[in-house]
Structure 1
Amino acid sequence: MASDEPTAIAEPHEWRPDRFMVIVAHPDDADFGPAATAAKWIDAGSAGWLVCCTSGDQGGEDFAMDPFALAAIRESEQQAAATIVGYEGVSFLHQPDGALANDLALRELLVREIRTFRPDAVLATDPETLFHGDGGINHTDHREASMAAVDAVYPAARNPMAFPWLARDGLAPHVVRRLYCFWSNQPTARVDVTGTIGRKIDALRAHASQIRQPEKLEARIREWAREEGQAIGREAGEAFRVITIEDDPTDDMAPAGEGDGDQAANA
């Protein structure tokens, strides 16, 4: 989804995590979001994992459909889309669609996922996005999932005293180095996805229960990508608000201005 007022950025964002995790509320959120970036990173050698907090059982217009049947359809669609993008796997947390809450139970599930996969970067929607410019309201589940992801990343995933039974299960604390917030009204970086925007569209087409007019959707997705690409002089881009949580002094891939995180402020 294109940001409302793109900020001119001279160069594309080039840092790539070895391992990354995308955390979203619903099946298809990741494919509307950072799928082209995920595909690009995976093609370059990164390992990616997708976490869906709900199974999207309220995401339909057929009121006669059994919600459990819809959930099964949407999980199957997301699995197919994840294969197209190249994720190593998908976790469904089976939280209530339309009533997702950033509570201890959800954060524990997310911390378990983070400590298991041990990503360098986590991608989630921007928790500060309440409105999409003047054109829409961000879904409450998106806001809850993103805030839960932030709270799981810091401080819970790295804190040995948080959910201590996880450590007893062999899931040691883990430090996530960067947070990539998509659907942000204040992006700080854009990734050149010229070579993988087609994979994003193919992944979206896998969500047949949700996509009524695939050709119209493709045109919209390409237009959003074109707008973001213009800011970096590329044909297609995806925008993120990138938060550097912890630097790696041996990392020579950090672009200028992204290696100055003040860890004292995070104590």
Structure 2
Amino acid sequence: MESNQSGIKRVLAFAAHPDDIDFGAAGTVAAFTAAGVEVTYCIMTAGDAGGFEPGDRENVSALRSSEQQAAAELAGVRDIHFLGERDGFLAVTPDVVEKTVALIRRLRPDVVLSMHPERNWDRIQASHPDHLACGEIVTRAVYPAAENPFAFPRLAEQGLEAYRVPWLWFYGAPRERENHAVDISGTVDTKLSAIRVHASQHPDIAKMEAAVCSMLQDNARRFGLPEGASAEVFHAVGVNTDQTIAGF
């Protein structure tokens, strides 16, 4: 899948919860930032239903936000937006779509990264309802809302003019949708370090790391990368490229 990766200058990455991006795309993000690409994160929920401890629930959101900020810095990202929606109840509403469109129009990214809107029946844990909602919200925001000058007219009144997103990359896609692999062998340690930061979510860090490493190596094998390589995989969708036709 040719996605003009060398021409990417700005990336906007969406996730449902703190830690989703780190599991799905932190190696790719770290490679982007190391190459000088500007990357921004947007976390849609407050992460308030995460963790395993029954006590001190009031501080869970603040803890998870701080974990995400620290993990993002490891990957070279310092610009993070938190929408603060309720964890477990993320819904495709006009309000959340509008907030997503506003961010896309403000940043005008070359690539939008998002969770996938389709359920993965091979590993249903990848298809938390919030993940699916995140994917659908972002998809609707990318097309047609962000590029429709008549959608959300008050955004245009605020100076946020319509913008055509070139590429939409989904992570956490069903395997049959995956069509683009990024070799992250040089940034896999950064990815693992970023995941470790989310300690509140991992009762067994060693087991988690082993599973992640195995998955990354399997990704690389499936896409024909050298033995021992690690890869993150995406469903890359050309939205406005030389190969797409507006209106069809």
Please, what TM-score do these two structures have when normalized by structure 1? 0.86
Hey, what does 1:42 align to over in structure 2?
A: 33
Do residues 243 (structure 1) and 234 (structure 2) align? no
2:51 equivalent to 1:60: yes
SS at 1:238 equivalent: strand
Structure 2 CA distance, aligned partners of 1:155 and 1:164?
A: 14
Q: Deviations over 1:2-60 (max 9, x none)?
A: xxxxxxx8xx9761421011111000000010110111111111110000001100012
State the distance in 2 between where 1:166 and 1:137 align.
33
Tell me the secondary structure at the aligned position of residue 13 of structure 2. Answer: strand
Counterpart of 2:191 in structure 1 is 200
RMSD across aligned C-alpha pairs, in angstroms? 1.7
CA spacing shift, 1:63–1:100, aligned 2, 3 Å: same
User: Does the CA-based 8 Å contact 1:51-1:90 persist in structure 2?
Assistant: yes
**Is residue 103 from structure 1 mapped to residue 93 from structure 2 by the alignment?**
yes
Deviations 1:215-236 (A, max 9, x none): 2211111111101111232301
- Structure scoring higher RCO (CA < 8 A, sep ≥ 6) equals 1
Instruction: Provide the aligned length of Structure 1 versus Structure 2.
Output: 242
Q: Residue in 2 aligned with 1:233?
A: 225
Aligned pairs for 1:180-199 (under 5 A) are 180-185=169-174, 186-199=177-190
Distance apart, 1:261 and its partner CA: 2.3
Distance in 2 (alpha carbons) for counterparts of 1:159 and 1:14: 24
Q: Describe the superposition over 1:67-109 as per-residue Cα deviations: whole angstroms up to 9, x where unpaired.
A: 3x10000000000001001113110001111111011010011
Tell me the equivalent position of 1:138: 127
Which whole-Å CA distance do the structure 1 matches of 2:91 and 2:232 have between them? 28
Is the Cα contact below 8 Å between 1:178 and 1:242 reproduced in 2?
yes
Deviations 1:166-207 (A, max 9, x none): 122121221110000111122011111110111110101111
Work out the CA distance in 2 between the residues paired with 1:193 and 1:173: 33
Instruction: Write out aligned runs for 1:122-133 (5 A).
Output: 122-128=112-118, 130-133=119-122
Higher helix fraction (1 or 2): 2
Identity %: 34
Paired letter, 2:44: C
Counterparts of 2:99 and 2:114, CA distance in 1: 15
* CA shift in 2, pair 1:140/1:134, >3 Å: closer
Q: Secondary structure at the match of 2:209?
A: helix
Contact 1:28 1:207 in 2 (8 A): yes
